Amino acid sequence: MSAANRIAGKGRLTPAKTARFTFDGKTYTALEGDTVASALIANNIHLVGRSFKYHRPRGILSAGAEEPNALIDVSRDAARKQPNVRATVQEVFDGMIVESQNRFPSLSFDIGGINNLLSPFFAAGFYYKTFMWPKAAWKSLYEPIIRRAAGLGVAPKEADPDHYAGRYAHCDVLVVGAGVAGLSAALAAAQTGAKVILCDEQADVGGALRYDSGVTIDGLSGYEWAQKTVAALKAMDNVQVLTRTTAFGYYNHNFVGLAERVTDHVANPSRHLPRERLWQLRAKRVILANGAIERHMVFPNNDRPGIMLASAARMYLNQYGVAVGQKVGVYTAHDSAYEAAFDLKRAGVEIAAIVDCRQTPGADVLAEARSLGIDVLAGQSVVNTSGKLRISSMTVARNGGGSPRKIAVDALLVSAGWTPSVHLFSQSRGKVKFEPETQRFLPGTYAQDCLSVGACNGTDDLQRTIEESLAAGELMAQAAGKASAGKISISAEQAHQWTGGMIGAAEGAGPETSAKAFIDFQHDVCAKDIRLAVREGMHSIEHIKRFTTNGMASDQGKLSNMHGLAIAAEMLGKEIPQVGLTTFRAPYTPVTYGTLIAHSRGDLFDPTRKTPLHQWEEAQGAVFEDVGNWKRAWFYPRAGETMHQAVARECKTARDVAGVFDASTLGKIEVVGPDAAEFMNLMYTNAWDTLKPGKCRYGIMTRDDGFVYDDGVVGRLADDRFHVTTTTGGAPRVLNHMEDYLQTEFPHLKVWLTSVTEQWAVIAVQGPKAREIIAPLVEGVDISNEAFPHMSVAECTVMGVPSRLFRVSFTGETGFEINVPADYGQSVLEAVWANAEPLGACVYGTETMHVLRAEKGYIIVGQDTDGTVTPDDAGLNWAVSKKKTDFVGIRGLKRPDLVKEGRKQLVGLVTKDPSLVLEEGAQVVANPNEPKPMTMLGHVTSSYWSENLGKSIAFALVAGGRKRMGETLYVPMPDKTIAVEVTDMVFFDKEGGRING
């Protein structure tokens, strides 16, 4: 073992199992099971990063998820690279590449460190003050500089090649945290037979038992008991233990999100394994055993590398076998830090002194310190530190202004006491309550079916923790419906009872100083910044938080919130509960986007809908466009054709010969029942009882407010059966709208609604030769113009396939739409095409469909209407019944604003220069020379080049449009103003004879 700070015989890692990794390009050796933090400290490295704002050298502060400082960039290769990983959580694997962050050119010499010297200019809130003037400098100067300086770490440039998984799970009892409380609770719940899931964010269970060497449970060391207990739990069929799994969010009705890190610790992960897995878990009952987080002391220059939490030093020693220094000081306000000194001393590390700001430390630990020969300086404080890239000394003075003296140290362990982790409890919307004696927030009023146990519930005593947890485990299993299975008895002892703790600034960091005493390490917030915020008028903790950014870093203030709150309360002269606590929000620790997205990316991001004719269209060389989730054939370019050329050819051919078009995506709803016609009368503006079976009608659907909601052709197949078509995008909401009225407003009607969109493939054949193309295939109906005129429907067979044949047209040409069961779609299309192609017909896509319908003045709901357009605005008043006494929208249409003069109306526009095609969405004005802002009359809704007419055509919604026929209006564009003439909307075949061919 080469690492300088490993202590033989300490820790639980196997010396023979090594892993090599690089840190800033230099290779180091770690042991299997090391975190990056423990491996770096083993190699005597404390300096691991630079702080965000002042670029101060920073080290490893903790040994857990709360780490604010030691954020690193971890990679396997250029693509598998993650910034802002906490070195205290990330396990080392062989071949790992670790880089420090936020430094240039190197960690030990960082140019950004000048910010530390300039810090008087960077006071809290400086963002809001400094960059206000001159105004012009914002875009050219301030913003680019701030953008370069802002942010931690560098995002990888390549797409993430790893995959992520998601899982849904249910259980009777979820236990969060596998320390002594969580293990006890899980044990008691599991023995009832309840389905239990136990999760812990660490690789190894045990929680504080991993470092607390003074604990004995049932005759075993705490750590051995934890291992034995978890083995027993894993052996039970009804228990699932998830390590490396963070419960990051507690949502409604005991819905808890877990992020499981599956391969981040593995050197060569199997390609079949996901990197991380999201668990979406619904638990009947939840037990929160989150433990507590140790707070640091707030004193001048408390951020040098080598200064760390006392419990972290114990963890590095007892779990990883690593001494954090050779001459270690302790500065504390709580007894627990003494035990770190005891452990290190027993391992042979020199303890410079325990500085205790309290006058009277706990008698129990004081006696033990004396017996170990450790110097305890009670009633004294560390008032400064020195050391450029690592602490070299602490300056100690008696409280109240004693003469300072320097004590040389290479590490300083600090503890201001413990903050119960009420994060998940608070996320569950439980209300915390403040306990003044211990100055901590504890679970108060529960909002969900959960219980907190152990340290996160403020229970300090070990035996009491175990009993409370066992009781909770049994209780929650019973509440989830399990019978009691008898009591479990566990007896435990701890070496020392702990007392003490403080929140807020310590000696030397009071209001009289301008020293940098850090509260929030990651965002470089000092005690004085909180005071400044209060002086500048921030009185709410939420305002103070935002002004100073205290608690807003990726560690979410796990260490800083209580200190900040205490200092603010002191400044405001209020009690802590009156100042209040900021809200805890998910996630508890950062969760990667990959985990949250899981499989939903790339092709799996959203469902893709393809029509039954899709394959054939692909073979024909179609270019597809996305229409909602549908892939629709857009146009069919021939070799060498541009889109414009292809569309022009398709448009010409369809009108000159015929065209074949896939209309399968049209929404289709079958409306069936004895009251079907009455229901249709209520849902559409037109009259339907007068429509004879075998005939079709174009229908407009409005909402109760009178605005156009959808449109489509409806065929009546029988007295009690309508075949309703909707717009492609509108199908689901139209069905929902119909169901809503049928179920809740008109439940007396005997009607059944069925979505049949996917059941039918729809082949439209349009053009002068349409009949000639389909006639040989159709049986059972006479499709001559006399027997089967425009707007007819019949059930027949096509190629022997049962079919619904519509004589309808969205082109103004003689047209048919053949509906056949989806599975026969391609065969029928092939037969249609075999007849069509020799006649010179074409297959056309949605772009040509759009042009052809615009030439004829047919609107598209959702393109030419926008939810504020009435049937009259769209020129469709003829489709609104004047005789009916009720339909959805009848009253809305009479509203004063909907009938007043001057509403925007759909009209046609032709450009004075016929070669200019307007931009859809462009504004229309009457006087282009009017000073800005001009009076805007409306906007262009559809615009195309019409090859058949040899000019550009457009629709626009224009105020008072129908009274402006022949008027010249203008469409101002960035580079020119286009003059247009207002026309009616029918540009082609105004007499409408072609449709009856």
Partner 1 sequence: MLLIYCPYCQEERSELEFRGAGDAHIARPTNIADISDEQFEEFFFLRDNPKGLIFERWRHQHGCGRFFNAARDTISDKFIMTYKAGEPKPDIGTAAAPHAPVETYEQLEGEAK
**What are the C-alpha distances in Å from 697 to residues 531, 717, 722, 936?**
74, 12, 11, 36
C-alpha dihedral sign at 892, 895, 899, 900: negative
Nearer to partner 1, 610 or 884 (CB): 884
Nearer to partner 1, 782 or 886 (CB): 886
Q: How far apart are CA 175 and CA 166, in angstroms?
A: 20
Smallest separation (angstroms) from partner 1 to the CB of 260: 19
Smallest separation (angstroms) from partner 1 to the CB of 743: 5
Smallest separation (angstroms) from partner 1 to the CB of 445: 5
Smallest separation (angstroms) from partner 1 to the CB of 746: 9
Smallest separation (angstroms) from partner 1 to the CB of 880: 13
Nearer to partner 1, 475 or 764 (CB): 475
Q: How far apart are CA 691 and CA 714, in angstroms?
A: 10
Which residues contribute to the site for partner 1 (CB under 8 A)?
251-253, 255, 280, 282, 429, 444-447, 449, 451, 453, 468, 471-472, 475-476, 478-479, 704-705, 736, 739-740, 743-745, 747, 885-886, 890-892, 894-896
Smallest separation (angstroms) from partner 1 to the CB of 847: 33
CB 185 within 8 A of CB 287: yes
Smallest separation (angstroms) from partner 1 to the CB of 490: 18
User: What is the H or E stretch that residue 774 is in?
Assistant: helix 770-774
Q: Is 504 helix (H, G, I), strand (E, B) or coil?
A: coil
Smallest separation (angstroms) from partner 1 to the CB of 206: 24
Nearer to partner 1, 592 or 755 (CB): 755
Nearer to partner 1, 629 or 743 (CB): 743
Nearer to partner 1, 747 or 931 (CB): 747
Nearer to partner 1, 463 or 863 (CB): 463
Nearer to partner 1, 620 or 755 (CB): 755
Mark out the alpha helices in 395-523 (DSSP H runs).
423-427, 462-479
Smallest separation (angstroms) from partner 1 to the CB of 674: 21
In 3D, which of 420, 421, 426 has the Cα closest to residue 251? Answer: 426
CB 588 within 8 A of CB 249: yes
Q: How far apart are CA 213 and CA 225, in angstroms?
A: 12
Q: Which two tokens stand for residue 252?
A: 């409604």
Q: How far apart are CA 243 and CA 198, in angstroms?
A: 8
Q: How far apart are CA 52 and CA 55, in angstroms?
A: 6
CB 276 within 8 A of CB 164: yes
Smallest separation (angstroms) from partner 1 to the CB of 447: 6
Q: How far apart are CA 34 and CA 719, in angstroms?
A: 78
| Residue 541 amino acid letter | I
Nearer to partner 1, 280 or 923 (CB): 280
Nearer to partner 1, 670 or 704 (CB): 704
Residues 6+ apart with CB under 8 A from 617: 611, 624, 633, 636, 662, 843
Smallest separation (angstroms) from partner 1 to the CB of 165: 18
In 3D, which of 417, 316, 400 has the Cα closest to residue 62? Answer: 316
Q: How far apart are CA 407 and CA 352, in angstroms?
A: 7
Nearer to partner 1, 224 or 705 (CB): 705
Q: Is 832 helix (H, G, I), strand (E, B) or coil?
A: helix
SS3 string, 50-105, reads ECCCCCCEECCCCCCCCCCCCEEEEECCCCCEEEEEECCCCECCCCEEEEECCCCE
Mark out the alpha helices in 503-656 (DSSP H runs).
527-535, 541-548, 561-572, 576-579, 593-597, 614-619, 643-656
Nearer to partner 1, 719 or 740 (CB): 740
